[in-house]
Structure 1
Amino acid sequence: MNVSDALIADQIRAVLTAAETGDGTAPIVEAGNPVLRSQTRPFDGQVDDAELEQLAEVMRATMLAAPGVGLAAPQVGIGLSMFVAEDPGARDPEVAKVRQREPMPLRVVLNAGCERAGGEDVAFYEGCLSIPGYQAVVARPRNIALTGIDLQGDPIAEEVSGWSARIVAHETDHLSGILFLDKAEMRSLATNESVAKFWHQPSTQKAAAELGFSLPSGMVM
Protein backbone atom coordinates (compact mmCIF):
# COMPACT_ATOMS: atom_id res chain seq x y z
CA MET A 1 0.00 0.00 0.00
CA ASN A 2 1.46 3.37 -1.02
CA VAL A 3 1.40 6.52 1.06
CA SER A 4 -1.76 7.87 -0.59
CA ASP A 5 -3.65 4.62 -0.10
CA ALA A 6 -2.49 4.45 3.50
CA LEU A 7 -3.82 7.97 4.03
CA ILE A 8 -7.21 6.95 2.61
CA ALA A 9 -7.30 3.98 4.98
CA ASP A 10 -6.46 6.25 7.92
CA GLN A 11 -9.19 8.71 6.90
CA ILE A 12 -11.76 5.92 6.68
CA ARG A 13 -10.83 4.51 10.08
CA ALA A 14 -10.94 7.96 11.65
CA VAL A 15 -14.50 8.43 10.37
CA LEU A 16 -15.54 4.98 11.61
CA THR A 17 -14.04 5.65 15.03
CA ALA A 18 -15.80 9.00 15.30
CA ALA A 19 -19.11 7.38 14.35
CA GLU A 20 -18.67 4.56 16.84
CA THR A 21 -17.93 6.96 19.71
CA GLY A 22 -20.74 9.31 18.72
CA ASP A 23 -24.22 8.87 17.31
CA GLY A 24 -23.29 6.76 14.31
CA THR A 25 -22.80 9.73 11.99
CA ALA A 26 -19.75 11.66 10.81
CA PRO A 27 -19.13 15.42 10.78
CA ILE A 28 -19.80 16.93 7.36
CA VAL A 29 -16.90 18.88 5.86
CA GLU A 30 -17.86 22.37 4.66
CA ALA A 31 -16.64 24.47 1.74
CA GLY A 32 -13.13 25.79 2.23
CA ASN A 33 -11.68 22.46 3.30
CA PRO A 34 -9.15 21.35 0.65
CA VAL A 35 -10.48 17.78 0.61
CA LEU A 36 -13.55 19.11 -1.22
CA ARG A 37 -11.33 20.50 -3.99
CA SER A 38 -9.13 17.46 -4.50
CA GLN A 39 -9.40 14.65 -7.02
CA THR A 40 -10.38 11.47 -5.22
CA ARG A 41 -8.54 8.18 -5.50
CA PRO A 42 -10.34 5.07 -6.78
CA PHE A 43 -11.16 2.32 -4.34
CA ASP A 44 -8.51 -0.35 -4.70
CA GLY A 45 -8.68 -2.36 -1.51
CA GLN A 46 -7.45 0.36 0.86
CA VAL A 47 -9.64 -1.23 3.56
CA ASP A 48 -11.32 -4.63 3.85
CA ASP A 49 -14.92 -5.39 2.88
CA ALA A 50 -16.22 -5.09 6.44
CA GLU A 51 -14.75 -1.61 6.91
CA LEU A 52 -16.03 -0.51 3.52
CA GLU A 53 -19.54 -1.67 4.39
CA GLN A 54 -19.32 0.13 7.73
CA LEU A 55 -18.29 3.30 5.92
CA ALA A 56 -21.30 3.02 3.62
CA GLU A 57 -23.57 2.65 6.66
CA VAL A 58 -22.04 5.69 8.38
CA MET A 59 -22.30 7.77 5.21
CA ARG A 60 -25.95 6.82 4.76
CA ALA A 61 -26.74 7.62 8.39
CA THR A 62 -24.96 10.97 8.03
CA MET A 63 -26.83 11.77 4.83
CA LEU A 64 -30.23 10.96 6.31
CA ALA A 65 -29.55 12.84 9.54
CA ALA A 66 -28.51 16.02 7.70
CA PRO A 67 -31.03 15.50 5.98
CA GLY A 68 -29.96 15.02 2.38
CA VAL A 69 -30.33 12.72 -0.59
CA GLY A 70 -26.67 12.20 -1.44
CA LEU A 71 -23.26 12.26 0.21
CA ALA A 72 -19.79 11.77 -1.25
CA ALA A 73 -16.77 10.53 0.69
CA PRO A 74 -14.93 13.90 0.50
CA GLN A 75 -17.85 15.41 2.41
CA VAL A 76 -16.82 13.39 5.45
CA GLY A 77 -13.13 14.11 4.90
CA ILE A 78 -12.17 11.05 2.87
CA GLY A 79 -10.43 11.40 -0.49
CA LEU A 80 -12.04 8.25 -1.89
CA SER A 81 -14.18 7.84 -5.01
CA MET A 82 -17.39 6.78 -3.28
CA PHE A 83 -20.86 8.16 -2.77
CA VAL A 84 -24.20 7.12 -1.33
CA ALA A 85 -27.56 8.36 -2.58
CA GLU A 86 -31.18 7.75 -1.64
CA ASP A 87 -34.25 9.83 -2.45
CA PRO A 88 -37.83 9.30 -1.23
CA GLY A 89 -39.11 11.29 -4.21
CA ALA A 90 -41.41 14.31 -4.27
CA ARG A 91 -44.68 14.29 -2.33
CA ASP A 92 -46.33 16.88 -4.56
CA PRO A 93 -47.50 15.23 -7.82
CA GLU A 94 -46.86 18.36 -9.86
CA VAL A 95 -43.31 18.66 -8.50
CA ALA A 96 -42.73 14.98 -9.20
CA LYS A 97 -43.91 15.44 -12.79
CA VAL A 98 -42.04 18.66 -13.64
CA ARG A 99 -38.81 17.64 -11.96
CA GLN A 100 -39.13 13.93 -12.79
CA ARG A 101 -38.49 13.26 -9.13
CA GLU A 102 -39.32 9.64 -8.47
CA PRO A 103 -38.10 7.58 -5.50
CA MET A 104 -34.53 6.29 -5.80
CA PRO A 105 -33.57 3.35 -3.59
CA LEU A 106 -30.29 3.45 -1.69
CA ARG A 107 -27.27 3.07 -3.88
CA VAL A 108 -23.59 2.95 -3.00
CA VAL A 109 -21.25 3.65 -5.90
CA LEU A 110 -17.48 3.33 -5.97
CA ASN A 111 -15.20 4.70 -8.69
CA ALA A 112 -18.13 6.53 -10.23
CA GLY A 113 -18.17 8.30 -13.55
CA CYS A 114 -21.02 9.91 -15.46
CA GLU A 115 -21.54 11.33 -18.92
CA ARG A 116 -24.40 12.92 -20.78
CA ALA A 117 -26.74 10.29 -22.21
CA GLY A 118 -28.69 12.45 -24.65
CA GLY A 119 -31.62 14.74 -24.10
CA GLU A 120 -31.80 18.37 -23.09
CA ASP A 121 -30.45 20.19 -20.07
CA VAL A 122 -32.83 21.02 -17.25
CA ALA A 123 -32.21 23.68 -14.59
CA PHE A 124 -33.46 23.60 -11.02
CA TYR A 125 -32.44 24.85 -7.61
CA GLU A 126 -30.10 22.54 -5.78
CA GLY A 127 -28.08 22.74 -2.60
CA CYS A 128 -25.25 20.90 -0.89
CA LEU A 129 -24.68 19.63 2.62
CA SER A 130 -21.16 21.10 2.45
CA ILE A 131 -22.54 24.58 1.62
CA PRO A 132 -25.31 24.83 4.22
CA GLY A 133 -27.98 27.49 3.95
CA TYR A 134 -27.76 28.28 0.25
CA GLN A 135 -29.14 27.05 -3.06
CA ALA A 136 -28.68 28.04 -6.69
CA VAL A 137 -30.01 26.98 -10.08
CA VAL A 138 -27.81 24.47 -11.89
CA ALA A 139 -28.33 23.16 -15.42
CA ARG A 140 -27.64 19.45 -15.79
CA PRO A 141 -28.46 16.80 -18.39
CA ARG A 142 -31.85 15.17 -17.95
CA ASN A 143 -30.25 11.79 -18.67
CA ILE A 144 -26.80 10.57 -17.68
CA ALA A 145 -24.84 7.35 -18.11
CA LEU A 146 -23.52 6.19 -14.74
CA THR A 147 -20.57 3.81 -14.40
CA GLY A 148 -18.74 2.41 -11.40
CA ILE A 149 -18.81 -0.60 -9.10
CA ASP A 150 -20.99 -1.51 -6.14
CA LEU A 151 -19.96 -2.74 -2.69
CA GLN A 152 -19.70 -6.29 -3.97
CA GLY A 153 -17.34 -5.22 -6.75
CA ASP A 154 -19.94 -5.77 -9.47
CA PRO A 155 -19.86 -3.30 -12.37
CA ILE A 156 -22.46 -0.56 -12.71
CA ALA A 157 -23.36 0.72 -16.17
CA GLU A 158 -26.81 2.24 -16.52
CA GLU A 159 -28.75 5.29 -17.64
CA VAL A 160 -30.25 7.47 -14.91
CA SER A 161 -32.92 10.08 -15.62
CA GLY A 162 -34.67 13.02 -14.02
CA TRP A 163 -33.95 14.12 -10.47
CA SER A 164 -32.03 10.92 -9.78
CA ALA A 165 -29.65 11.90 -12.58
CA ARG A 166 -29.18 15.30 -10.91
CA ILE A 167 -28.30 13.68 -7.60
CA VAL A 168 -25.86 11.25 -9.18
CA ALA A 169 -24.21 14.01 -11.25
CA HIS A 170 -23.89 16.25 -8.19
CA GLU A 171 -22.26 13.51 -6.14
CA THR A 172 -19.97 12.44 -8.97
CA ASP A 173 -18.80 16.05 -9.29
CA HIS A 174 -17.66 15.90 -5.67
CA LEU A 175 -15.29 13.09 -6.60
CA SER A 176 -13.45 15.48 -8.93
CA GLY A 177 -13.32 18.38 -6.50
CA ILE A 178 -16.28 20.20 -8.09
CA LEU A 179 -18.94 21.96 -6.03
CA PHE A 180 -22.38 22.80 -7.38
CA LEU A 181 -21.66 26.54 -7.22
CA ASP A 182 -18.96 26.03 -9.87
CA LYS A 183 -21.76 25.22 -12.33
CA ALA A 184 -24.52 27.41 -10.90
CA GLU A 185 -26.26 30.45 -12.34
CA MET A 186 -24.99 32.87 -9.70
CA ARG A 187 -27.83 35.38 -10.20
CA SER A 188 -30.10 32.68 -8.79
CA LEU A 189 -28.13 32.28 -5.55
CA ALA A 190 -30.53 32.36 -2.60
CA THR A 191 -30.78 31.32 1.00
CA ASN A 192 -32.90 28.31 1.82
CA GLU A 193 -35.42 30.69 3.37
CA SER A 194 -35.64 32.79 0.20
CA VAL A 195 -36.10 29.71 -1.97
CA ALA A 196 -38.97 28.58 0.24
CA LYS A 197 -40.52 32.06 0.22
CA PHE A 198 -40.11 33.09 -3.42
CA TRP A 199 -39.06 30.14 -5.58
CA HIS A 200 -41.04 27.16 -4.33
CA GLN A 201 -42.68 26.57 -7.74
CA PRO A 202 -42.05 23.20 -9.43
CA SER A 203 -40.12 24.89 -12.27
CA THR A 204 -37.52 27.68 -12.23
CA GLN A 205 -39.19 29.85 -14.88
CA LYS A 206 -40.48 32.46 -12.40
CA ALA A 207 -37.09 32.70 -10.70
CA ALA A 208 -35.34 33.13 -14.06
CA ALA A 209 -37.73 35.89 -15.11
CA GLU A 210 -37.57 37.85 -11.86
CA LEU A 211 -33.89 37.37 -11.01
CA GLY A 212 -32.69 37.91 -14.57
CA PHE A 213 -30.98 34.72 -15.71
CA SER A 214 -31.52 32.40 -18.65
CA LEU A 215 -32.66 28.81 -18.65
CA PRO A 216 -31.30 26.23 -21.11
CA SER A 217 -32.75 26.82 -24.58
CA GLY A 218 -34.03 23.26 -24.85
CA MET A 219 -35.69 23.26 -21.46
CA VAL A 220 -39.39 22.48 -21.78
CA MET A 221 -41.81 22.62 -18.86
Structure 2
Amino acid sequence: MSAPAPTLSDTEIRDLVLDLLESPEEIAIVQAGHPVLRQQAKDFNGQLDAGELDAFLALMRAVMHAAPGVGLAAPQLGIPLRIAVLEDQWPIPEEIGAAREREPLPYFAIINPVYQGLGEESVPFYEGCLSVHGLQGVVSRHRRVRLDWTSPEGESLSEEFSGWQARIVQHETDHLNGTLYVDKAVTRSISFNQEYAQYWAAPGVENARKGLGF
Protein backbone atom coordinates (compact mmCIF):
# COMPACT_ATOMS: atom_id res chain seq x y z
CA MET A 1 0.00 0.00 0.00
CA SER A 2 1.47 3.36 -1.03
CA ALA A 3 1.59 6.29 1.33
CA PRO A 4 -1.06 8.99 0.79
CA ALA A 5 -0.21 12.37 -0.69
CA PRO A 6 0.16 15.31 1.72
CA THR A 7 -2.93 17.41 2.22
CA LEU A 8 -1.24 20.77 2.87
CA SER A 9 -0.84 23.42 0.20
CA ASP A 10 2.54 24.99 -0.57
CA THR A 11 1.45 28.13 1.28
CA GLU A 12 0.43 26.14 4.35
CA ILE A 13 3.76 24.29 4.31
CA ARG A 14 5.70 27.56 4.13
CA ASP A 15 3.66 28.97 7.01
CA LEU A 16 4.48 25.89 9.13
CA VAL A 17 8.18 26.32 8.42
CA LEU A 18 8.09 30.01 9.33
CA ASP A 19 6.25 29.15 12.55
CA LEU A 20 9.05 26.72 13.46
CA LEU A 21 11.73 29.27 12.66
CA GLU A 22 10.03 31.89 14.84
CA SER A 23 9.10 29.57 17.70
CA PRO A 24 10.66 30.38 21.09
CA GLU A 25 9.95 26.81 22.21
CA GLU A 26 12.24 23.81 21.85
CA ILE A 27 11.44 22.07 18.58
CA ALA A 28 9.95 18.60 19.09
CA ILE A 29 10.52 15.66 16.77
CA VAL A 30 7.16 14.16 15.83
CA GLN A 31 6.64 10.51 16.76
CA ALA A 32 5.18 7.45 15.03
CA GLY A 33 1.44 7.86 14.72
CA HIS A 34 1.67 11.43 13.46
CA PRO A 35 0.08 11.45 9.98
CA VAL A 36 2.92 13.42 8.36
CA LEU A 37 5.26 10.45 8.88
CA ARG A 38 2.95 8.26 6.79
CA GLN A 39 2.56 10.60 3.82
CA GLN A 40 4.52 11.04 0.63
CA ALA A 41 6.43 14.26 1.16
CA LYS A 42 6.06 16.91 -1.53
CA ASP A 43 8.88 17.64 -3.93
CA PHE A 44 10.63 20.84 -2.99
CA ASN A 45 9.89 23.30 -5.79
CA GLY A 46 10.59 26.66 -4.22
CA GLN A 47 8.04 26.68 -1.41
CA LEU A 48 10.77 28.46 0.60
CA ASP A 49 13.04 31.20 -0.67
CA ALA A 50 16.82 30.78 -0.38
CA GLY A 51 17.06 32.48 3.01
CA GLU A 52 14.14 30.54 4.46
CA LEU A 53 15.57 27.27 3.15
CA ASP A 54 18.99 27.98 4.67
CA ALA A 55 17.40 28.83 8.01
CA PHE A 56 15.24 25.70 7.94
CA LEU A 57 18.24 23.49 7.15
CA ALA A 58 20.20 25.10 10.00
CA LEU A 59 17.29 24.40 12.34
CA MET A 60 17.06 20.78 11.17
CA ARG A 61 20.78 20.30 11.74
CA ALA A 62 20.57 21.79 15.24
CA VAL A 63 17.64 19.53 16.17
CA MET A 64 19.51 16.52 14.77
CA HIS A 65 22.58 17.32 16.86
CA ALA A 66 20.55 17.91 20.02
CA ALA A 67 18.59 14.65 19.71
CA PRO A 68 21.32 13.32 19.06
CA GLY A 69 21.08 11.61 15.69
CA VAL A 70 22.83 11.09 12.35
CA GLY A 71 20.00 12.23 10.10
CA LEU A 72 16.72 14.10 10.18
CA ALA A 73 14.01 14.40 7.54
CA ALA A 74 11.67 17.36 7.24
CA PRO A 75 8.56 15.25 8.01
CA GLN A 76 10.09 14.52 11.42
CA LEU A 77 9.51 18.21 12.20
CA GLY A 78 5.99 18.03 10.78
CA ILE A 79 6.96 19.46 7.37
CA PRO A 80 5.94 17.31 4.37
CA LEU A 81 8.80 18.32 2.05
CA ARG A 82 11.43 16.08 0.43
CA ILE A 83 14.31 17.51 2.42
CA ALA A 84 16.71 15.82 4.85
CA VAL A 85 20.01 16.53 6.59
CA LEU A 86 22.67 13.88 7.25
CA GLU A 87 25.82 13.90 9.36
CA ASP A 88 27.67 11.21 11.30
CA GLN A 89 30.66 12.47 13.25
CA TRP A 90 29.96 10.70 16.55
CA PRO A 91 32.88 8.74 18.08
CA ILE A 92 32.25 4.99 18.27
CA PRO A 93 34.32 1.98 19.38
CA GLU A 94 36.70 0.80 16.67
CA GLU A 95 35.32 -2.76 16.72
CA ILE A 96 31.76 -1.58 16.08
CA GLY A 97 32.89 0.84 13.40
CA ALA A 98 34.73 -1.90 11.54
CA ALA A 99 31.89 -4.43 11.77
CA ARG A 100 29.30 -1.94 10.57
CA GLU A 101 31.51 -0.21 8.00
CA ARG A 102 30.79 3.02 9.80
CA GLU A 103 32.91 5.89 8.52
CA PRO A 104 32.42 9.57 9.38
CA LEU A 105 29.85 11.27 7.16
CA PRO A 106 30.35 15.03 6.77
CA TYR A 107 27.24 17.18 6.96
CA PHE A 108 25.17 17.65 3.83
CA ALA A 109 21.56 18.37 2.94
CA ILE A 110 19.56 16.47 0.34
CA ILE A 111 16.57 17.80 -1.57
CA ASN A 112 14.24 15.58 -3.62
CA PRO A 113 16.50 12.52 -3.12
CA VAL A 114 16.09 9.13 -4.78
CA TYR A 115 18.29 6.11 -4.02
CA GLN A 116 18.90 2.92 -5.95
CA GLY A 117 20.49 -0.23 -4.54
CA LEU A 118 23.71 -1.34 -6.21
CA GLY A 119 24.50 -5.04 -6.45
CA GLU A 120 22.83 -7.94 -4.68
CA GLU A 121 24.39 -7.59 -1.23
CA SER A 122 22.28 -6.56 1.75
CA VAL A 123 23.39 -6.24 5.37
CA PRO A 124 21.33 -6.60 8.58
CA PHE A 125 22.02 -4.36 11.57
CA TYR A 126 20.14 -2.80 14.42
CA GLU A 127 19.00 0.76 13.86
CA GLY A 128 16.75 3.23 15.61
CA CYS A 129 14.84 6.36 14.74
CA LEU A 130 14.28 9.70 16.40
CA SER A 131 10.57 9.34 15.55
CA VAL A 132 10.27 5.89 17.13
CA HIS A 133 11.62 6.84 20.50
CA GLY A 134 13.11 4.14 22.70
CA LEU A 135 13.24 1.21 20.25
CA GLN A 136 15.83 -0.55 18.11
CA GLY A 137 15.27 -3.16 15.41
CA VAL A 138 17.24 -5.16 12.86
CA VAL A 139 16.77 -3.95 9.28
CA SER A 140 18.38 -5.53 6.22
CA ARG A 141 19.42 -2.80 3.78
CA HIS A 142 21.43 -2.47 0.58
CA ARG A 143 25.12 -2.42 1.37
CA ARG A 144 25.71 -0.01 -1.52
CA VAL A 145 23.42 2.61 -3.01
CA ARG A 146 23.53 5.43 -5.48
CA LEU A 147 21.84 8.62 -4.31
CA ASP A 148 20.63 11.29 -6.70
CA TRP A 149 19.58 14.61 -5.16
CA THR A 150 19.55 18.37 -5.50
CA SER A 151 21.76 20.54 -3.29
CA PRO A 152 20.36 23.59 -1.45
CA GLU A 153 22.10 25.67 -4.13
CA GLY A 154 20.10 23.92 -6.86
CA GLU A 155 22.87 21.66 -8.19
CA SER A 156 21.96 18.13 -9.35
CA LEU A 157 24.26 15.64 -7.61
CA SER A 158 24.86 11.89 -7.63
CA GLU A 159 27.11 9.83 -5.36
CA GLU A 160 27.58 6.24 -4.27
CA PHE A 161 27.52 5.31 -0.58
CA SER A 162 28.34 2.07 1.19
CA GLY A 163 28.19 0.56 4.65
CA TRP A 164 26.66 2.67 7.43
CA GLN A 165 26.57 5.76 5.24
CA ALA A 166 24.35 3.87 2.79
CA ARG A 167 22.10 2.87 5.70
CA ILE A 168 21.68 6.50 6.76
CA VAL A 169 20.89 7.53 3.18
CA GLN A 170 18.23 4.82 2.88
CA HIS A 171 16.70 5.50 6.28
CA GLU A 172 16.31 9.25 5.72
CA THR A 173 15.07 8.95 2.14
CA ASP A 174 12.52 6.35 3.27
CA HIS A 175 11.08 8.97 5.63
CA LEU A 176 10.20 11.10 2.61
CA ASN A 177 8.18 8.22 1.19
CA GLY A 178 6.14 7.70 4.37
CA THR A 179 8.20 4.67 5.43
CA LEU A 180 9.61 4.07 8.93
CA TYR A 181 12.37 1.59 9.68
CA VAL A 182 9.92 -0.54 11.71
CA ASP A 183 8.12 -1.29 8.42
CA LYS A 184 11.26 -3.12 7.27
CA ALA A 185 12.51 -4.43 10.62
CA VAL A 186 12.58 -8.06 11.69
CA THR A 187 9.72 -8.00 14.18
CA ARG A 188 11.29 -10.43 16.66
CA SER A 189 14.42 -8.30 16.85
CA ILE A 190 12.66 -5.18 18.15
CA SER A 191 14.04 -4.19 21.54
CA PHE A 192 13.78 -1.26 23.90
CA ASN A 193 16.99 0.74 24.16
CA GLN A 194 17.87 -0.56 27.63
CA GLU A 195 17.47 -4.20 26.60
CA TYR A 196 19.34 -3.59 23.36
CA ALA A 197 22.26 -2.03 25.24
CA GLN A 198 22.27 -4.82 27.83
CA TYR A 199 21.95 -7.82 25.55
CA TRP A 200 22.33 -7.14 21.84
CA ALA A 201 24.71 -4.21 21.28
CA ALA A 202 27.43 -6.44 19.84
CA PRO A 203 29.06 -5.34 16.59
CA GLY A 204 26.91 -7.81 14.62
CA VAL A 205 23.46 -9.36 15.03
CA GLU A 206 24.34 -13.03 15.59
CA ASN A 207 23.81 -12.90 19.35
CA ALA A 208 20.41 -11.30 18.84
CA ARG A 209 19.48 -13.88 16.22
CA LYS A 210 20.23 -16.70 18.63
CA GLY A 211 18.73 -15.06 21.69
CA LEU A 212 15.57 -13.68 20.08
CA GLY A 213 14.99 -16.39 17.49
CA PHE A 214 14.99 -14.68 14.11
Give the TM-score range, shorter chain. over 0.9
User: What is the TM-score normalised by the length of structure 2?
Assistant: 0.94
- Change in CA separation of 1:89 and 1:143 when aligned onto 2, cut-off 3 Å: farther
Q: Which AA in structure 1 matches 2:106?
A: P
Secondary structure, aligned partner of 2:158: strand
- Provide the secondary structure at the position in 1 that maps to 2:204: coil
Aligned to 1:132: 133
CA distance in 2: counterparts of 1:90 and 1:181, whole angstroms: 26
Residues 89, 96 of structure 1: 8 Å contact kept: no
Is it true that 1:65 corresponds to 2:66 in the alignment? yes
TM-superposition CA deviations, 1:105-148 (whole Å, max 9, x none): 00100001111012411011101001100010000001011011
1:78 alignment partner in structure 2? 79
Residues 1:199 and 2:200 aligned together: yes
C-alpha distance in 1 between matches for 2:78 and 2:107: 21
Match of 1:115 in 2: 116
The aligned amino acid for 2:14 is: A
Question: 1:166 aligned to 2:167?
Answer: yes
> Is 1:36 the counterpart of 2:41 in the alignment?
no
Is 1:102 the counterpart of 2:103? The answer is: yes
Aligned equivalents of 2:14 and 2:47: distance in 1?
5
Counterpart of 1:10 in structure 2 is 15
Alpha-carbon contact 1:74-1:80 (below 8 Å) kept: yes
Q: Which amino acid aligns with 2:175?
A: H
- Match of residue 3 from structure 2: none
1:27/1:89 CA distance change after superposition, 3 Å: closer
Q: Is the 8 A contact 1:89 1:101 kept in 2?
A: no
Match of 1:218 in 2: none
Number of residue-to-residue matches in the alignment: 207
Secondary structure at the counterpart of residue 29 of structure 1: coil
Q: How does 1:136-155 map to 2 (within 5 A)?
A: 136-155=137-156
* Contact in 2 for aligned 1:28/1:129 (Cα 8 Å): yes
Question: C-alpha displacement at 1:26, in angstroms?
Answer: 2.0
TM normalised by structure 1 equals 0.91
Q: Please report how far the alpha carbon of residue 89 of structure 1 lies from its aligned counterpart in structure 2 after TM superposition.
A: 5.0
**Kept after mapping to 2: 8 A contact 1:113/1:146:** yes
Which segments of structure 1 move beyond 4 Å, counting only runs of 4 or more? none
Q: Give the aligned residue type for 1:81.
A: R
Q: Percent identity?
A: 46
SS of residue matched to 2:128: strand
Conserved 8 A contact 1:90-1:96: no
CA RMSD of aligned residues (A): 1.1
State the 1:6 CA deviation: 1.2
Q: Which sections of structure 1, spanning at least 5 residues, go unmatched?
A: 214-221
Structure 1's 15 and 68: CA in aligned 2 closer, same or farther, altered over 3 A? Answer: same
**Structure 1 counterpart SS, 2:56:** helix
3-state SS of 1:114 partner = strand
